[in-house]
Amino acid sequence: MTNERSEVLERAMGYPYPVPSHPFVQLGHGTFDPAEVDVDWEERLQLLAYGSNAAPRALAHKLALSADPVLVVPAWLHDFDVVYSAHISPYGSVPATLQHCPGTAARVHVVHVTKEQLALVSATEPNYEPTRLESVDCRLDRDELISELSAYISRHGCLLIDGSEVALAAVQSTGRCFAEMSEPQVQEYVRASLCPAESIEGFVLGNVTDPALAEARTAALARRQPVLS
């Protein structure tokens, strides 16, 4: 039981999880060099990943029912930043969403998926709205410009602290104008705001084991701002 509790806490606090700094292919729990995999990636759909959806551990979980590999390519998304959403995820994290931020470039990833894989990922995103981003400036590391791609945008808007969005410290950016916090820091802020008498461990475990409680706490995060305002 102690190990299970530790794993739950690690998963919640470890968001958005490590991602290789170079392009890679994920197949099941295996991470490979793209040169090792013979796939026509031009036939795939392009999905913007700015939170955990580029992390090998997340892809292995979300695409466990897929026998196909995915290609993940680092990119820079201009005039946006990656900020915290005003909700608690089913696995206990306070996850990310996007917000316009002129002059900022956020480190993101483009995941090349099949239609079937996109459906599998969508099934894991109940708190997000599938959205088609148009006329954006997303540049792959090989300097290829992508102006349209799919993304998941939080249905709950951005978490506001002292009246402003808060960027993920774990996400690299240039020209960042929002204050930033780590996942443990933002978890502590939400805990102190909603249930100051509870320990951080009790707070996280309660959110994971009681979906209704997590939903009520999400609703209590009253100060919100529409995403992509």
Structural domain count, the chain: 1
Q: What pLDDT is attached to residue 142?
A: 75
* Angle (deg, nearest 10), helices 2-13 and 183-194: 100
pLDDT in tens, 68-112: 999 999 999 999 999 999 999 999 999 999 999 999 999 999 999
By C-alpha distance, which of 117, 107, 20 is closest to 72?
20
228 occurs within a structural domain = no
Q: What is the dihedral of CA 191, 83, 87, 58, to 10 degrees?
A: -100
Q: What pLDDT is attached to residue 3?
A: 82
142 occurs within a structural domain = yes
82 occurs within a structural domain = yes
229 occurs within a structural domain = no
| CATH value at residue 13 | 3.10.490.10
Q: What pLDDT is attached to residue 161?
A: 93
Percent over 70 (pLDDT), the chain: 96
227 occurs within a structural domain = no
6 occurs within a structural domain = yes
Structural domain of 96:
2-222
DSSP bridge pairs for 24: 72
Query: Mean pLDDT over residues 27-55, rounded?
Result: 96
52 occurs within a structural domain = yes
pTM of the full structure: 0.94
